Structures are given as C-alpha cells and as structure tokens.
C-alpha cells in the first residue's frame, strides 16, 4: 500500500491554530525515507503535546534505532491540541506524522510511549483521528498494530481494550524483534491475518498481547485469575532489559525542537536502573538492575551530540545521577573539557549530601548557578524510614549549608503528601524543615535574599512496588494536610517569606491512582471520559475531576467496584493484582516483605554497596548489576578545540538511506 502526505490539507488549517510550527516537522536530525523502499513502517507516538513529547529520550532512541535499518521507516506523531483537532475533524484530516505528514493509519505499527497514565485519553484521540478503530478487536489487517511501551505500560490493563500489544521495559532490542516478526509475516503474505501476527508476537515471550488473556473475577470484584486463552501464549510475560548500554549509545543525533519545549537541552543517560529502594518509586523498582554507561561512552555521547545539535546545555540523566560510581570523574572530565566554552552542564540532583554540592559546583564552573534540587520526599524521620529514603535532617541541613555557603541562593526541596501511615504531624514537619533550611542558609551565606522552595506532589501507589497494596490517601485528606502546611509555613513571617510552596490539589493524583492500579473494567471508563471531552488530562487547565467521577459512576454501575475500591482500598497479601502476570522480575514475596518492613519503619540498603537482598530481578531476568569503578578516564582528555578527540566506532556515521531536511538548507518545510 502506498500513502501520501496530508500536508497540503493541513497547511490550510495551520494559520488558524496556536503554535503551528509544532506540526511542520523537519527538525534538525529528523528523518524521512522513501515509503516504497522500506518493508516495515512504524509511527511512534508520545501522547502529549509536541513540547513535551519531542524531547522524550525513549521515543528518540527507538526512532533512531529503527531508522538506522534500511528496510525500516519510523516517523513521529504527537497529540494535536484541541484547536487543531476540531479543524482536522471538520476538514477530514487524519492524525499525521510530523516527519512526512503521512496518515498514522497507513503504518504497520503504531508504537506509543506512556510515561504517565494521564496520557490515556490522548491515545484515543489519536486513534480516532487516525481512523483506527478504538478497540483492538475492531481492527483488521488494514490497521496498524498498536504497541504500548514506557513505564505506565507495566500495568496496561486499564487500556488493554485499545492496545494490540505491549512491551514491558527497555525497547532497544524489542522494537527490532517486533520489526523482524512483522517483516517475516508480511513477506509470507500475511498468513492467518492479524491474529497470526499477534500470536507470533505473543509467542516470542517478550510481548504482551492482552486479548490472549482472559480475566476472571470473584463476586466481590477481586480478580480470581488471569489465564491465556491460546496454547502458544505464555502464562507470564517478561520485561525487557538492555544490558550493555555502551552498545546502544542512542540518541547519537538528538532531535532539535522547532518550537519551545520542556527540555531545551541535550540529555545523556548515564545509567539505567536504581537500587536505592525508595518504596514509592515505580521507576526504581521496574528498571533494576543498575547498568552504568562507561565514562568514555558518556564523554563520547556528549561530544557527538553537541556537535550534531548545536545545543549549549547538556543534562546528565538517570534516576539518581550522583550515584554513578564514577560521577566525580565524569563531571570533572566534562567541566575540564568544556571550560571556557558556552557549554553548560547540569545534573538533576536528588541525593542529599555535600558531595552532590561539590558536583554541582564543578558543573557550574562554566555557567550561572540556578537552583539546587534535593528530594527528601518526607517531612519527618519516621516517614522517611517508611518510604526508605535514608536522609537525616542533619544531612540535609549540612548539605544546604554547604550549598548556600558556596554561593547558591535557591534550594528546591521535593516532598510527597499522602504517603502510607502518614499523619498531619509528618506533613507539618516539612514546614519546620524548610524553616531550618532558611535559618541555616542565612547564617551560612550572611544574606537574607536566599530562598527555599518546597514542591509537594500527591503520592500515588504504583504497581510493582512495595506500596502496591497500600490504600491511597483520599484527596480531601491530602488537601487538608496541605492547607495546614501552608498555614504553618506562613505562621512565621520572617522565615516564611523566604519559603515558596508549590503543590497541586489531590484530585489529579486520585485519578492517576485509579488508572495506575486499575484493571480491564476501566476500559469503558477511559472511553466514556474521552467521549465526554477528556483530553490532555495531565494539564491542569484541561483536567476535569468531575468527568472521571461521573464516568466511573456510569460505567462501573453494574459492577461491584467503584473509584474508591480502586484507590483508597488496601489490598490483602494474596489478592491477585491485575499485573501479576506481567513480570518485572521482582518477587511478589519480596515486595510484600518490603511492604511489611515499611509498616515497621525498617529500612533496606542499596544492593550496589551491600550484599544482594534477593529482590528477585537478577536471577529471574538473567541480569546483573553493572557498575564501576573502572578507574578509566573521560576521553578525549584534550579540552575542546585543542586536538582531535578519540573516536568511538559506535558513533561512525550510520549507513542509512536518510535525508535530514532542514539540516543543511535551513528549510523547515515538510518533506
């Protein structure tokens, strides 16, 4: 099947919408290929606006890996804003890719990356605009296979009706395997139709195909069991883990956004996984084990990326960047290399210790000192033991004192509200801590113009974490605690005026909680919300709590379950959870033991520096922790502009049939 660009029709609409540049494509390092010359075609979607979706590393990596193959074409698509959606409906323009403006419905596969559950309604908009039946069982060979991925895909059950397939975990190798299976099936003349293709994907063991599993329920609404309904389909589906990150130095040529975006810098992922064991953190749990990128690999990715993008800032990305075993070498090496240039370096700081301030100082050698960010997450020592965030108040005060003494003027502290076992007192301790920080800061700096901002998010219990059994705190309780906290902060005028407080009300978190631990009975709820106008639920100006409450009331009326059943209900040890057949490697017994330890306020060490505590991941997944120190140095040793850097063969220009519109000519128009 051939396809054509819808740009001529789209172009007519662009003068009538906000930020039209986000729809034109042709970014530096983007790719367009000849449709006919390729065998397998992927549309890759981030279900949010261009400004959030474009900088997404996950999708950028998959886009590049797929396009490096000559027989594969991959293009990107993002959610269109409601103003363009209305015009597209009026004028019959389908959901399109930004690269060559091809209709998304013409591709073989539509890969969608879910970082947050609040993107689910945007998936439905794209499917509907793309003229792809919303439900998987309504699709034929004419329609793309809709594949979900990203962290939220570790419990895809609430959107199981709308997805054909799901990948848990890292996508680098998975997308290539899916591509091969699809190519072979197409070459053979598509035997057995769509059903056979999905079966082949499911059989591979690393792709979850929801329709091949039946869910049975108890009368009280709990799940009795989830069983495959086909012989060739495995009982459990395993997550994917890319082990040697140096073999996958992507993105080698990061995309440069055309319009303003949330991340105006280049990011280099310095390691994946985290074993600190914060009990609320799904990302830390599902990405185990820790796999570090080598010092040389990082140095080379920074050099090549800067060369190919022209960015002036590099962020060293991971779940806790200061934990890289050779972070001192990395930061010093980069700071030396880029000293005297316009290149700024940043490290999203989360660890609360003075070492982190040293690193920040090192990185700030070249530029201005913005703010420093730390995440104690809980206000009292007690609650920090419950969540396994081993930070003492002493550590925090020592760290911020060092920061203020070193010239930093602004410190940001992240907290959560609504944590298991939390009391009002735990939350009020946040105010006391912030005041101590300001007091210590004024003393250390000798100035009064320093600031401390506290940013507070509502806690949402997540699948595959020790808190997966916990009752979520009701939004009214969270809101009440936050009101009392604000009063406590403002109670002391002299210190309070140096403290900024940022928080959201508890209602979006309540819906995120519904979707995070939900099951297939929520499919109709998601669809109802979408039909009632739900779009961009992650954006406060578009989110409607009432729409979700009403949809739950209508669509769950004939079931024994409701919104509170999914959210504020504590689960029992042996309850079958909707994601139990999806294997993140973590043993359920270990997660339960860790949950009990949380209730007993017992902490758990990090297995990077202590013996393995048998969470189950490494033996189940056949993986291992990969960390240094290796004692190597960052290459090239020569500062920028003084010599030829050592090249890593992994970065040699790819052999591909690719054009990069706009790169050389400055032409930003569509391909």
Q: Within 13 Å of residue 308, how many CA atoms lie on the same side as its CB?
A: 21
CA gap 241, 239 in Å, rounded: 7
Stretch that binds ligand SF4, among 448-456, 460-468, 533-541, 609-617 (CB under 6 A): 609-617
β-bridge mates for residue 317, sequence order: 269
The correct pick among 52, 478, 617, 627 for binding ligand SF4 (CB under 6 A) is 617
Query: What are 508's two structure tokens?
Result: 């979006």
**Ranges within 215-244 binding ligand SF4 (CB under 6 A):** none
461 binds, among ligand B12, ligand SF4, none (CB under 5 to 8 A by kind): none
Which of 288, 293, 337, 412: binder of ligand SF4 (CB under 6 A)? 288
What, of ligand SF4, ligand B12, none, does residue 288 touch, CB below 5 to 8 Å by kind?
A: ligand SF4
Kindly state the smallest distance separating residue 267's Cβ from ligand B12, in Å. Answer: 6
Residue 576 per-residue DSSP state: B
DSSP string, 150-187: SGGGGS-GGGGGG-SEE--B--HHHHHHHHHHHHHHHH
CB atoms within 10 A of CB 229: 9
Select from 259, 593, 625, 650 the one that contacts ligand SF4 (CB under 6 A).
625
CB of 613 to ligand SF4, least distance (A): 5
Residue 613 contact, options ligand SF4, ligand B12, none, Cβ 5-8 Å cut-off depending on partner type: ligand SF4
Number of other CB atoms surrounding residue 448 within 10 Å? 11
What's the token pair of residue 236? Answer: 């459990």
* Pairing of the two strands 410-417 and 451-458: parallel
Of 216 and 614, CB closest to ligand SF4: 614
The yes or no reply on residue 613 touching ligand SF4 (CB under 6 A) is yes
At closest approach, how far in Å is the CB of 611 from ligand SF4?
8
Q: What are phi and psi of 560, to 5 degrees?
A: -80, 5
Determine if 591 is a binding residue for ligand SF4 (CB under 6 A).
no
Q: Rank residues 14 and 283 by Cβ distance to ligand B12 and give the closer one.
A: 283
CB of 623 to ligand B12, least distance (A): 14
Which residues are CB-contacts of 594 (< 8 A; sequence separation ≥ 6)?
A: 277, 279, 388, 466, 604
Q: Nearest distance from residue 443's CB to ligand B12, in Å?
A: 33
Question: Nearest distance from residue 514's CB to ligand SF4, in Å?
Answer: 30
Work out what residue 167 binds among ligand B12, ligand SF4, none; the CB cut-off runs from 5 to 8 Å by kind.
ligand B12
- Crossing angle of helices 57-67 and 172-187, in 10° steps, is 40
* Binding partner of residue 618 among ligand B12, ligand SF4, none, CB cut-off 5 to 8 Å per kind: ligand SF4
CA dist., res. 92 & res. 88, Å (int): 6
Coil/strand/helix, residue 63 = helix
User: What is the number of other CB atoms lying within 10 angstroms of the CB of residue 391?
Assistant: 18
Round to whole Å and give the CA distance between 119 and 113. Answer: 9
Residue 618 engages ligand SF4 in binding (rule: CB under 6 A): yes
Which SS3 state, helix, strand or coil, does residue 313 take?
strand
Distance from the Cα of residue 312 to its chain's centroid: 24
In 134-290 the beta strands, taken as DSSP E runs, fall at 145-149, 165-166, 213-217, 223-228, 237-238, 266-269, 271-272
Name the pairing type of β-strands 223-228 and 213-217: antiparallel
Answer yes or no: are the C-beta atoms of 377 and 268 closer than 8 Å.
no
Which CB atom, from 167 or from 470, has the smaller least distance to ligand B12? 167
User: Using an 8 Å Cβ cutoff, are 210 and 136 in contact?
Assistant: yes
Q: From the list ligand SF4, ligand B12, none, which binds 190 (C-beta under 5 to 8 Å, kind-based)?
A: none
Rounded CA separation 54/260 (Å): 10
- Tell how strand 499-503 and strand 582-583 pair up: unpaired
**Interaction mask 551-590, ligand SF4, x per CB under 6 A:** ----------------------------------------
Q: Helix or strand or coil: residue 350?
A: coil
Q: What is d(CA 324, CA 332) in angstroms, rounded to the nearest whole number?
A: 13
Which helix (H) or strand (E) is 583 found in, with range? Answer: strand 582-583
Does 610 contact ligand SF4 by CB under 6 A?
no
Measured from the CB atom, the residue of 319 and 357 that comes closer to ligand B12 is 319
N- to C-terminal Cα distance for the chain? 19
Identity of the residue, 404 or 651, whose beta carbon is nearer to ligand B12 in the bound complex: 651
Show Cβ contacts of residue 160 under 8 Å, excluding neighbours closer than 6 positions.
210, 211, 520, 523
Quick one: 103 or 144, whose CB is closer to ligand B12? Answer: 144
617 binds, among ligand SF4, ligand B12, none (CB under 5 to 8 A by kind): ligand SF4
Query: CB of 51 within 8 A of CB of 23?
Result: no
Choices 207-215, 361-369, 382-390, 610-618 (CB under 6 A): range interacting with ligand SF4: 610-618
Q: How far is the CB of 240 from ligand B12 (least distance, A)?
A: 8
Whether the upstream peptide bond of residue 636 has omega within 30° of 0, thus cis, is yes
The interface region with ligand SF4, picked from 320-328, 386-394, 478-486, 617-625 by CB under 6 A, is 617-625
Q: Is 607 in the site for ligand SF4 (CB under 6 A)?
A: yes
Choice from 25, 26, 289, 670 touching ligand SF4 (CB under 6 A): 289
Binding partner of residue 48 among ligand B12, ligand SF4, none, CB cut-off 5 to 8 Å per kind: ligand B12
Q: Which of ligand SF4, ligand B12, none binds 170 (CB below 5-8 Å, type-dependent)?
A: ligand B12
Region 247-276 residues binding ligand SF4, contact defined as CB under 6 A: 275
Q: Which does 111 bind (CB under 5 to 8 A by kind): ligand B12, ligand SF4, none?
A: ligand B12
* Residue ranges in contact with ligand B12 by CB under 6 A: 48, 52-53, 55-58, 61-62, 111-113, 115-116, 119, 147, 149-152, 167, 170-172, 174-175, 242, 262-263, 269, 281-283, 317-319, 538
Q: Cα–Cα distance between 461 and 464 in angstroms, integer?
A: 10
Closer residue to ligand SF4 in complex, CB, 3/623:
623
Nearer to ligand B12, 25 or 148 (CB): 148
Interaction between residue 283 and ligand SF4 (CB under 6 A):
no
- By the rule CB under 6 A, 284 interacts with ligand SF4: no
| 278 near ligand SF4 (CB under 6 A) | no
Considering the complex, state which of residue 201 and residue 671 has its C-beta at the smaller distance from ligand B12. 201
Give 349 or 498: the residue with its C-beta nearer to ligand B12.
Answer: 349
Smallest gap from residue 35 Cβ to ligand SF4 (A):
44
**Nearer to ligand SF4 among residue 340 and residue 619 (C-beta):** 619
Query: Rounded to an integer, what is the distance from CA 282 to the centroid of its chain?
Result: 10
Torsion angle of C-alpha atoms 27, 30, 32, 33, degrees rounded to 10? 160
| Shortest CB 615 distance to ligand SF4, Å | 3
Beta strands (DSSP E) in 229-333 are 237-238, 266-269, 271-272, 291-292, 313-317
151's contact among ligand SF4, ligand B12, none, with CB below 5 to 8 A by partner kind, is ligand B12
CB-nearer residue toward ligand B12: 51 or 605: 51
* Distance (Å, whole) CA 153 – CA 384: 28
Q: Site for ligand SF4 (CB under 6 A): how many residues?
A: 12
CA–CA gap between residue 163 and residue 178 (Å, rounded): 15
361 in contact with ligand SF4 (CB under 6 A): no
Residues that bind ligand SF4 in the complex, under the rule CB under 6 A: 275, 288-289, 607, 612-618, 625
């Amino acid at each position: 099947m051939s396809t054509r660009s819808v740009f001529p029709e789209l172009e007519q609409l662009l003068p009538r919408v906000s930020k039209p540049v986000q729809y034109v494509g042709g970014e530096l390092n983007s790719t367009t290929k000849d449709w006919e010359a390729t065998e397998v075609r992927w549309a890759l979607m981030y279900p949010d606006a261009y400004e959030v979706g474009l900088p997404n590393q996950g999708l950028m990596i998959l886009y590049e890996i797929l396009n490096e193959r000559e027989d594969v074409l991959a293009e990107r698509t993002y959610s269109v804003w409601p103003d363009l959606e209305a015009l597209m409906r009026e004028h019959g323009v389908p959901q399109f890719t930004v690269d060559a403006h091809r209709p998304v419905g013409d591709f073989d596969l539509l890969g969608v990356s879910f970082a947050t559950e609040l993107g689910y309604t945007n998936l439905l908009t794209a499917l509907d605009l793309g003229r792809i039946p919303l439900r998987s069982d309504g699709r034929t060979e004419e329609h793309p296979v809709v594949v979900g991925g990203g962290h939220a895909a570790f419990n895809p059950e609430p959107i199981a009706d709308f997805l054909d397939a799901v990948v848990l975990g890292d996508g680098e190798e998975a997308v290539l395997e899916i591509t091969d299976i699809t190519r072979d099936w197409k070459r053979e003349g598509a035997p057995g139709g769509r059903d056979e293709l999905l079966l082949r994907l499911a059989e591979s063991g690393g792709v979850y195909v929801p329709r091949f599993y039946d869910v049975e329920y108890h009368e009280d609404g709990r799940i009795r069991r989830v069983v495959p309904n086909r012989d060739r389909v495995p009982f459990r589906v395993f997550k994917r883990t890319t082990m040697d990150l140096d073999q996958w130095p992507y993105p080698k040529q990061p995309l440069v956004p055309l319009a303003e975006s949330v991340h105006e810098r280049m990011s280099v992922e310095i390691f994946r996984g985290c074993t600190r064991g914060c009990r609320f953190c799904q990302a830390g749990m599902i990405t185990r084990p820790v796999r570090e990128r080598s010092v040389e690999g990082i140095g080379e990715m920074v050099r090549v990326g800067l060369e190919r993008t022209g960015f002036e800032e590099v962020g060293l990305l991971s779940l806790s960047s200061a934990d890289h075993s050779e972070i001192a070498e990395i930061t010093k090496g980069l700071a030396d290399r880029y000293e005297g240039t316009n290149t700024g370096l940043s490290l999203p700081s989360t660890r609360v210790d003075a070492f982190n301030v040293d690193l920040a100082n090192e990185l700030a050698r070249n530029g201005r000192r913005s703010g420093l960010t730390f995440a104690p997450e809980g206000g009292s020592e007690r609650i920090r033991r419950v969540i396994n965030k081993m930070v003492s108040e002493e550590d925090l005060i020592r760290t911020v004192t060092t920061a203020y003494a070193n010239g930093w003027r602004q410190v940001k502290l992240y907290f959560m509200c609504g944590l298991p076992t939390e009391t009002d007192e735990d939350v009020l301790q946040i105010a006391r801590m912030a005041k101590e920080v300001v007091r210590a800061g004024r003393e250390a700096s000798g100035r009064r113009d320093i600031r401390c901002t506290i940013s507070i998010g509502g806690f949402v219990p997540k699948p595959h974490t020790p808190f997966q059994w916990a009752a979520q705190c009701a939004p009214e309780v969270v809101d009440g605690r936050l009101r009392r906290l604000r009063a406590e902060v403002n109670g002391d005028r002299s210190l309070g005026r140096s403290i900024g407080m940022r928080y959201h009300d508890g209602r979006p978190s309540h819906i995120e909680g519904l979707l995070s631990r939900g099951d297939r009975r929520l499919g109709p709820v998601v669809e109802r919300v979408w039909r009632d106008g739900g779009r961009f639920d992650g954006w406060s100006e578009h989110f409607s709590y009432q729409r979700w409450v009403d949809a739950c009331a209508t669509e769950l009326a004939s079931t024994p379950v409701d919104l509170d059943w999914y959210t504020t209900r504590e689960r029992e040890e042996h309850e079958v959870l909707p994601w139990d057949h999806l294997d993140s490697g973590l043993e359920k017994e270990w997660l339960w033991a860790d949950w009990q330890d949380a209730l007993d306020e017992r902490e758990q060490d990090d297995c990077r520096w202590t013996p393995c505590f048998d969470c189950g991941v490494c033996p189940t997944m056949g993986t291992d922790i990969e960390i240094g120190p290796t004692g190597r140095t960052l290459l090239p040793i020569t500062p920028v502009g003084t010599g030829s850097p050592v090249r890593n063969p992994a970065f040699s220009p790819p052999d591909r049939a690719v054009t990069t519109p706009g790169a050389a000519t400055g032409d930003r128009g569509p391909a």
